[in-house]
Structure 1
């Protein structure tokens, strides 16, 4: 999948293996506000993310020099952009640290549904914002969903990420429910997450 946009960037399936560390850093910059209290310290979080990233469930934006400037992930019954086992957690954080982190992260897990492609995160580097990278990645995710026979794309956006929600709404996503975090808001750093979906037309 390639799609040059005004020659500023291109959209590709997966991500270059030599960009794995960059992908982990961008992911952490985007989601440390949500996962920071769970996956801290930063060095261990980056180590875990780099270990778990799966190119088979990624769509990336590369600049003219091939540098990674954005990525969207998705989840199916076969895997996800970032998914690992308890063994991965304990390898990075030790037995106790890996156990409690794994239990807490399970609360955020969402399972794929028939006919629905589940997004597993989207992020754009600060330097590339305003170029249309986020919109292009969302469009590519929707195309990938149609190619897989899905009729909807779903994502979740937390209440503190108003910039992202505005992007999703401009791209045709609509609210489909809200989940409260309750007492876990002190761990996750947000009070609620809104499920947003976009209906798709078959090719």
Structure 2
């Protein structure tokens, strides 16, 4: 909004109106609008305590929002790091190369080390999740087939049955791919461990 119009609007308010406006709308204003309001109140030599309280609240909220943004950034960075580590291990990258790659992505050495050393545990958990997904897919598919058979008996088209069947099949396919991927990750982890042990004995 045009700053000139904002200033004119504040100027037209009487003292009671502008104080009420400050109380009810102060925290909702844009930065520029609030600064113009503060300027108008200072001209009238009023509302200093209310202004101070609202300014404190604005700073507090900004600080909280900044912390939340930082937490979200950390969460996103960590999720990206996990995805990177699994992707690299699936390709057969060595632990050290993954470790270096994580550091280059901005993950500190301690967390990079933890991520690399827990890849096998994470892969096993994800494989188990995939197996559960496959079972769920079969159950949904069977329910879909049952619904289709029942509706055939009563000569009625079952859109729900077809949707259940398709949903079950897609769940099985997605979960099977997930299981294969993390089984490959686990296989590469074990292969590197075997190679490491072989080099140690030489």
| Fold shared, TM-score > 0.5 on shorter chain | no
Q: So what's the TM-score if we normalise by structure 1?
A: 0.20
Q: Which has the larger radius of gyration?
A: 2
Structure number with higher strand proportion: 1
Q: So what's the TM-score if we normalise by structure 2?
A: 0.20
